[in-house]
Amino acid sequence: MINQLRSKLRMPLGTPPRGLERRCQRRHPVSLGAFLYPLDLYRELIIQHVSGKTLVADVDVAVDAGQLVHLTLDGKAYHSATVKGTLGNRIVLELHADMDGLRSQGSGEMLQASRNLHIPARLYTSEEACTATVVNVSRTGLGVESALEMLPGQHVLVSIGNRPLLSGKIRWSHGGKAGIMTIVNVPVLELAYSEGTDFKQ
């Protein structure tokens, strides 16, 4: 037992406890600026109208104008939006980027002005974003460093520059470092050979 304690004391800061880092895929070292969004609440949402990147939807949750929220249609791809206004249970959202699930099945282009759509989705609210550095990437996850208190099992979104949001769960956290298992595969080559990423929230 004393030897085990000594071993733990010699463990470098930020090294995950033995057995928690289970990624079998090769980890590529990187240094990419990012934002972490801890997701703490979601509500079912019904998209009623679309006009370009503006959505009108019904949802039973109180949000404020100017608030940042995240939407998903399938639980895999997540999209950021800003609340532009509210009236009762109806809210108006401005998407930060095109949302693939809202493209016309015929042309593949974004719906420009459509009403009575009734598209189910989930709306997530989150705490304020925290800056982070992605220090390694693999096909199934990321290693990050951040001042954010990260708890195993916590659902987070990772924003790296203008790339699509990555959704995942904290697998381990230790000394300001954490391992995130992503829901979809990570674009390893794209991230591993990135020359730099701007901090854009």
Q: What pLDDT is recorded for position 120? A: 95
Q: Which residues on neighbouring strands pair with residue 92, listed in sequence order?
A: 56, 85
Q: What pLDDT is recorded for position 104? A: 46
Q: What pLDDT is recorded for position 133? A: 96
pLDDT at 23 over 60: no
Q: Where residue 52 falls among pLDDT bands split at 50, 70, 90?
A: confident
Query: Average model confidence (pLDDT) for the chain?
Result: 82
Reported CATH class of domain 41-126 = mainly beta
Residues 118-147 pLDDT 10s: 999 999 988 788 999 999 999 999 999 999
What spatial distance separates the first Cα and last Cα of the chain, rounded to whole Å? 47
Q: Do 16-37+127-192 and 41-126 have matching folds? A: yes
Q: What pLDDT is recorded for position 22? A: 56
Q: What angle do CA 24, 194, 20 make, to 5 degrees?
A: 25
102: DSSP letter: G
Q: Where residue 197 falls among pLDDT bands split at 50, 70, 90?
A: very low
For the chain, the structural domain boundaries read: 16-37+127-192, 41-126
Q: What pLDDT is recorded for position 200? A: 39
pLDDT at 175 over 60: yes
CATH superfamily of 16-37+127-192: predicted glycosyltransferase like domains (2.40.10.220)
